[in-house]
Amino acid sequence: MVDEGLVLSLSHPGGNTTSVSLIAFELDGKRQDLLLEALPGGRRLAALADPHVSTPQHLQVLTDAARVRSVELSVFSARTPEEIVPAMNDAKRSGAEGLNVLATPLFFFNRRLVIERAAALRLPAMYQWPEMAEEGGFAGYGPRITEWHRQLARLLAKVLRGAKPGDLPVEQPTKFELVINLQTAKAIEHEIPAGLVLRADKVIE
């Protein structure tokens, strides 16, 4: 929000704006690391990206981070719901052993499509919300969207009581959860390392 000029700073937004920062975008790298842990020995990874959200600079950071671990990262883009399945098909044909579904509303609102296609392609996929793993995705890491909504509601309540938005610090999630769906892993015949399963906040068996 600061980079885009929406607020002066997170602690003192100024103007007439405050919010709860999703920071989902910033967690794409962490999700990539977790996905690689779930794919020991993996050397080819794909990222499903929305060009409206993922900048070339952000994608380069992910590519460089993968290269440091001797992993080749290929990016496949989808700008509309209709482009999602073809992009995922291309990722599978490229030889990708796993898919990092990068943060964007596009993939969240079309999550059923993404989750079902990943399963059909037998492609382990990491998602931006823990709830997406609970809905059948391979794994998800980040703050819970339900808690994000609660934070927004608390801020709105303060404004309705008379607080000025510009005086309310932009809040950020403080709790992040890793959810692993072993049912999905079994369905696509992928065994997740026991150490990663033990670190998960929730395991669906």
Summarised one tens digit per residue, pLDDT across range 55-114 is 999 999 999 999 999 999 999 999 999 999 999 999 999 999 999 999 999 999 999 999
The confidence score (pLDDT) of residue 153 equals 66
At residue 8, what are phi and psi to the nearest 5 degrees?
A: -75, -40
Q: What is the reported pLDDT for 57?
A: 94
Contact criterion met (CB below 8 Å) for 180 and 203: yes
DSSP 52: T
Classify domain 25-204 at the CATH class level.
alpha beta
Question: Measured between alpha carbons, how far is 30 from 141 in angstroms, rounded to an integer?
Answer: 8
Residue 75: other Cβ atoms inside 10 A: 20
More confident residue, 35 or 17: 35
Distance CA 190, CA 19 (A): 39
Above 60 in pLDDT, residue 18? no
- The pLDDT tens digits for 21-32 are 555 567 999 999
CA atoms within 13 A on the CB side of 58: 20
- What would the mean pLDDT of 143-161 be, rounded to a whole number? 72
| Average pLDDT rounded to a whole number, residues 151-176 | 71
Strands (E), the chain: 44-49, 72-77, 99-101, 125-127, 139-142, 177-181, 202-204
Alpha-carbon separation of residue 2 from 11, 28, 108, 159, 163 (angstroms): 11, 19, 24, 21, 21
Amino acid letter at 75? V
Which single residue is written with the structure tokens 């068996």?
205
The token pair that represents 161 in the structure block: 């009581």
